[in-house]
Amino acid sequence: MRHHSLGQSSTFLMRRDLLLNFPFRRWGHNMRKILVVDDDEGFQFLCKMVFKRSGEPFQILEAYDGVQALEILQSDDPKPDLILLDINMPRMNGHQFLEEYSKQAVGEVPIVAMLTSSEQQRDRQNALSYSFVQDYLLKPLCIEHIQKLKRLYQHVCNQPVVS
């Protein structure tokens, strides 16, 4: 998906079978949590549908900007396993979120993967300067991204790669 102006549409294609063996840590009730931080309602919907139709018990948490994401992460609820973070958002953008979160991050920190339309090298460098940001992916969300996130998660958790 390219970054579109308000009122323009986007088209997404996704294979749900790639998510069937995604090795998330398990929280209570075997729920796997993914926090999607993006102000694009279409992208939020896509993520929700892709993960929910995977056949696994995912809980998709939605935040439409960095302020909402911090509120979710500061709650007493278990932390998400994965955060998909956009850069260009109102109130608190992705860079501001990373800066604020880096001050507050204590203990087990979820994996953060940037998933954004920004191709600017300075955005990439800034995001990857945080130790908890593990990857910088360009939209659209595609099969290769899901495979890469799966390998990344397994590597970080020292789990064997499952094809």
Residue 11 lies in a domain: no
Q: What is the pLDDT of residue 55?
A: 59
Distance from C-alpha of 23 to C-alpha of 32, rounded to nearest angstrom: 9
Q: What is the count of structural domains for the chain?
A: 1
In a domain, 19, yes or no: no
Q: Is residue 67 part of a domain?
A: yes
Residue 7 is assigned to a structural domain of this protein: no
51-58, long-range: CB within 8 Å, 24+ apart, which pairs?
A: 51/19, 53/16, 54/16, 54/19, 54/20, 54/22, 55/16, 55/20, 56/19, 56/20, 56/22, 56/32, 57/29, 57/30, 57/31, 57/32, 58/31, 58/32, 58/33, 58/34
Q: Which of 60, 65, 97, 85 is nearest to 139 (CA)?
A: 85
One digit per residue, pLDDT tens: the chain, 163 residues? 444 444 444 444 444 444 445 554 443 445 678 899 999 999 898 877 776 666 566 788 999 999 999 999 988 888 888 898 999 999 999 999 999 998 886 556 677 888 888 889 999 999 999 988 888 888 877 767 777 776 666 665 554 434 4
In sequence order, the 6+-apart residues with CB closer than 8 A to the CB of 89 are: 37, 38, 39, 64, 65, 66
Q: Is residue 17 part of a domain?
A: no
Global pTM reads 0.73
Q: 21 lies in a domain?
A: no
Q: 83 lies in which domain range?
A: 26-156
Q: How far apart are CA 163 and CA 8, in angstroms?
A: 37
CATH code, 37: 3.40.50.2300
Q: Are 111 and 134 in contact (CB under 8 A)?
A: yes
φ, ψ at 60 (rounded to 5°): -95, 120
- The whole-angstrom separation of Cα 121 and Cα 83 is 21
Asked if residue 12 is part of any domain, the answer here is no
Give me the pLDDT at residue 99, please. Answer: 93
The answer to whether residue 3 sits within a structural domain is no
Whether the Cβ atoms of residue 84 and residue 36 lie closer than 8 Å to each other: yes
